[in-house]
Structure 1
Amino acid sequence: MTCSFAIPCQARERVCVILNISLMKTSLLILAFALVLSSCSVQPRASWIITTENEPWQEQSDLVSASSDTIPTIDAVIHTHKKGQKIDGFGACFNELGWISLSKLDPTVREEIMEELFFPEIGANFTICRMPVGANDFSRDWYSYNETEGDFEMEYFTIANDQQTLIPFIKGAQKYNSDLRIWASPWCPPAWMKYNKHYASAYTGEAYNEKYRNGLPADKVGYEGTDMFIQDSLYLQSYALYFSKFIEAYREQGIDIFAVMPQNEFNSAQIFPSCCWTAASLANFVGNYLGPAMKEQDVKVMFGTMERANEALVDTILTDPVSGKYISAVGFQWAGKGAIKGIHERYPDMKLYQTEQECGDGKNDWSGAVYSWNLMRHYLDNGASAYMYWNISLDKGGISRWGWAQNSLVVVDPDTKTFHYTPEYYVMKHLSHYVQPGARKLETSGQFSNLMAFVNPDKSIVVALANEGNEDRQVSVEIDGRVYQPVLPAHSIATLLID
């Protein structure tokens, strides 16, 4: 016997409606519960690093943020919607004495240092560096690429000297970062192109240690505000060709130079390779000789390096109708830091670089690191798109050919064949490791001002802070309505990364 049971049509519809409503309520309850769990368990966090004099680069436990409504006092606010200049990167200068010092280490150790400095996302993450055109004050000695007087066609041009030092140094960096960008500037032209026929511009004197004397006669010195380069079209045209030969020779080595500056510290008569120029003469050289030559090479021309707090010198170049059109950026160093703010305000679209870290006295101590931090903050707060340290590496107690002890990122002990990173290296790393090329500087406000903030292309936020006081200090930092409260040890530098 077979039994069957059928539900009337209307009854079936009522059952379906009831079931659908029940399922919807259940789904909404599940969604609400998930949102509650999410809000309770997932809060924005910040990874962070602290450096003190005796304990560099110490990773800390993640900071969990709180709502700004729950924090009574906010020390600093990061304005993520107020974006400043785009950051091109951080780096240093390739100097001959740097390679000489690193070459005293075991090759495996040297490779570890180069990887730490240049491999992306590993250590310092350097992305933009400087090099000299010929000798600078931390070369082994004076040289240029053509000391054959009267060779205006540059037939005897050669970079043979650099094959021993600068080229392997740069290639060693390129091994770890093939996208490394390099710009260059001369400290001195070939000596025969100067009125005094000598690489130096200042007299060392008889009282100077004989080992470090430059041999310049006292009556051959140069003076600020004058031209030491021979201002003749034949010499100027030949010097532009000298730049072109340099670009081409390095290109053949697999090293592309993206930009040049016409003269390092063009106001300064120095005991080492140097050459004074007036701003008007530089405008003529850039506008009528160097600019056109570099345009043919697809190389940018930047103005500098500016080592004086004299904005009028920059105005001379930028407002000149012939030279101004070739200038893609302006570089500042040393006392030039006094001019960057005004230039940034009056030429807001002009790219600005800090071109050389003030070099210290060879002590490589914590006070030098703090000074470096404040230099970085000054330049970056006033529009700099790149920041470059000076000496990458030096021997312990290393002194230049002209008798000057300076600081460096790496110190090599030639006797023990060991090395260490200096406090200034870690200060650089606190920014360069985290701030990516293409990042934007962010505006900040509040009673705590010893900080800098950036937003990276991947939207992560970088906040670097310093506590220069003698006591630990908690700082409340607000970012988009969330507050992070790191405790900064006395005399420390820290970096927060909010993904």
Structure 2
Amino acid sequence: MNRARGSSTGVLLALFFAACDPSTSATEPEGAGGSGPGASGAGPGASGSGSGAGSSTGSVGAGASGSTGSDGAGGQPAGEGGAGGSPTGADPDPPVVEPTLVTSGQNNYWVTGEPTEVTSGNADVTVDEATTHQRWDGFGGTFNEAGWNVLSMLSDADRARAIELLFDRHEGAAFVYGRVPIGASDYAMDRYTLNETPNDHAMESFSIARDRERLIPYIKAALAVRPDLHLWASPWTPPTWMKSNGAMDGGRMKDDANVLEAYALYFAKFVEAYAEEGITIEAVHPQNEPNYETRYPSCIWTGPLMAKFIGAHLGPTFAERGLTTQIYLGTMSNAESGKDGAILSAVTGDATAMGYVKGFGLQWNMLGSVSGLRSRNLPILQTEHKCGNYPWNPAGSPTFNANKAPNDHAYAEESWGLLRDWIKAGVTSYSAWNMVLDTAGKNLDSQRPWPQNALLTVDTGAKTLNVTPAYHVFRHVSAYVDPGATRVGTTGGDALAFKNPDGTFVTILYNSGNSEKTTTLGVAGKKLQFSIPAHGWATVNWK
């Protein structure tokens, strides 16, 4: 059964871009101009079939669903305009029909169709609606300077199409979360913080002027499509004068009361400055990967210091300044003994700190920590999708490629396994890492620039937008599973299933075989038959 949805906001977004005064000119990133795997020569306006079919080399056809809103990164009630108003001020568009079946296989992505209802035979996969798991809050991705830099090289229409593919409820992935770096991430254009004036404990020199160049325009473009976008933020590094080594890369956070109080004020100033831009930051996480000392912006924290910062400084500062922005314990990534697990233990064992903590942010190697946190009945966010192409395992499968991002079908299949495993473990939301990069995908690592994937890529030579296979994997789930859905059980096959608030059942199935597979799905008392491409996916939307 199809569901009615609204139509695209792409035209309005194109008008929004056309009306904006560009804040900066795009610069050519290192390695730009190459064509990575899955990159297309066609711009995003290239159509698929009349039914909405498409591949990684063309645009995605109409028909994807959107979401109905979530409780947000900070548990705030959802609503239109919840994270900033729409610059267009437009009313909802007329409804379109959402397809019941979408399939994707290598070089043939997002093909719409209809399953056949059958009465005989056994189901290969059965949805067990009586077995319920976690509430689902939604999908998202990360805003980075490098993404907006390459988006700025596109025409207004193509840039609007990219934003629509990510955030639109009706013709895109319907992302409802957005992560914002506080200062430089490893995909900033270069290293910076928001206050490099030494010992400025009063934060008199704090400024988000740099963010107005590439981050805030990126966020506002997304808000034009998704006014109820839930935004959360985290730093990769504090200001250098707060660290043991006085540098952007590596070093340790100083255990000094004046510094910790100043850093809490730094967070508060960030939230307040963004609010003045019309952008609501619903939650903050104190540190990206607090136990990886990297050759790009980073900082080491201990568990007791994190507990002290949250309980004695960050939480009270937010309360004193009347900020409703919530504090999450994140983003944890290093599962090595005595690392991020020790931070989780220290903070969760500190009653004062936990009085301020409203959820957890885990990524990468922390999958094993999800089950132990579920008993606390707080949201558990998967905060960064594993980016592929692992330089510490150069002979692995797939082999590390120092010159090319892994934007191919093999990485899409890896992505499915990660999405499935984290969701089955019990996280309540899931975020991509870079939503947009150039086709090279290299980061700021000073010694080993690391080519990483993105959901969309820009060929900076041809000035064209490419849709990667991994994007389609995200969309197979995110476009159909509405915030507020409940994950339900399945038996047989490799599948995830959800029951949406409107009663619709969404089942995502994967075929790892080398041949197309005719599959029967048992759902809501019916048997539905359809084919899943080899090494491909099918999403069935049924009510």
Q: Same fold (TM over 0.5)?
A: yes
Matches for 1:84-483 after TM superposition, within 5 Å: 84-201=133-250, 222=251, 228-295=252-319, 296-309=322-335, 311-344=341-374, 346-347=375-376, 349-361=377-389, 362-402=405-445, 403-446=449-492, 448=493, 450-483=494-527
- 2:100 match: secondary structure: strand
Count matched residues: 422
Q: CA deviation at 1:486?
A: 2.4
The whole-number CA distance in structure 1 between the counterparts of 2:491 and 2:316 is 44
Aligned-pair Cα RMSD in Å: 1.6
**2:106 maps to amino acid:** E
Pick from 43, 47, 62 the counterpart of residue 100 of structure 2.
47
Task: Name the larger-Rg structure.
Answer: 1
State the match for 1:7 in structure 2.
none
Gaps of 5+ in 2: 1-97, 390-404
The whole-number CA distance in structure 1 between the counterparts of 2:299 and 2:341 is 20
Gaps of 5+ in 1: 1-44, 202-221, 223-227
The whole-number CA distance in structure 1 between the counterparts of 2:509 and 2:271 is 40
CA offsets 1:93-114 (integer angstroms, 9 cap, x no match): 0000000010011112101211
The whole-number CA distance in structure 2 between the counterparts of 1:146 and 1:321 is 31
User: Do 1:79 and 1:444's aligned partners in 2 also have CA atoms closer than 8 Å?
Assistant: yes
Q: CA deviation at 1:78?
A: 1.2
State the match for 2:535 in structure 1.
491
The whole-number CA distance in structure 2 between the counterparts of 1:311 and 1:282 is 12
- 1:329 match: secondary structure: strand
Q: CA deviation at 1:53?
A: 1.5
The whole-number CA distance in structure 2 between the counterparts of 1:54 and 1:336 is 33
The whole-number CA distance in structure 1 between the counterparts of 2:341 and 2:127 is 30
Q: CA deviation at 1:182?
A: 0.5
- 2:163 match: secondary structure: helix
Is it true that 1:56 corresponds to 2:100 in the alignment?
no
- 2:254 match: secondary structure: coil
User: Do 1:461 and 1:497's aligned partners in 2 also have CA atoms closer than 8 Å?
Assistant: yes
Q: CA deviation at 1:311?
A: 4.3
The whole-number CA distance in structure 2 between the counterparts of 1:152 and 1:490 is 59
CA offsets 1:288-344 (integer angstroms, 9 cap, x no match): 111222343101111111113364532321231111121111111111123223333
The whole-number CA distance in structure 2 between the counterparts of 1:312 and 1:445 is 36
Q: CA deviation at 1:46?
A: 8.0
Q: CA deviation at 1:458?
A: 1.1
State the match for 2:29 in structure 1.
none
The whole-number CA distance in structure 2 between the counterparts of 1:268 and 1:300 is 24
**1:373 maps to amino acid:** W
User: Do 2:441 and 2:454's aligned partners in 1 also have CA atoms closer than 8 Å?
Assistant: no
CA offsets 1:240-278 (integer angstroms, 9 cap, x no match): 000000000000001100000000001111000000101
**2:380 maps to amino acid:** L
The TM-score, its normalising length taken from structure 2, stands at 0.76
User: Do 2:99 and 2:112's aligned partners in 1 also have CA atoms closer than 8 Å?
Assistant: no
Structure 1 range deviating more: 281-290 or 478-487:
478-487
CA offsets 1:396-417 (integer angstroms, 9 cap, x no match): 2232232221101111111111
The TM-score, its normalising length taken from structure 1, stands at 0.82
The whole-number CA distance in structure 1 between the counterparts of 2:371 and 2:479 is 26
- 1:384 match: secondary structure: coil
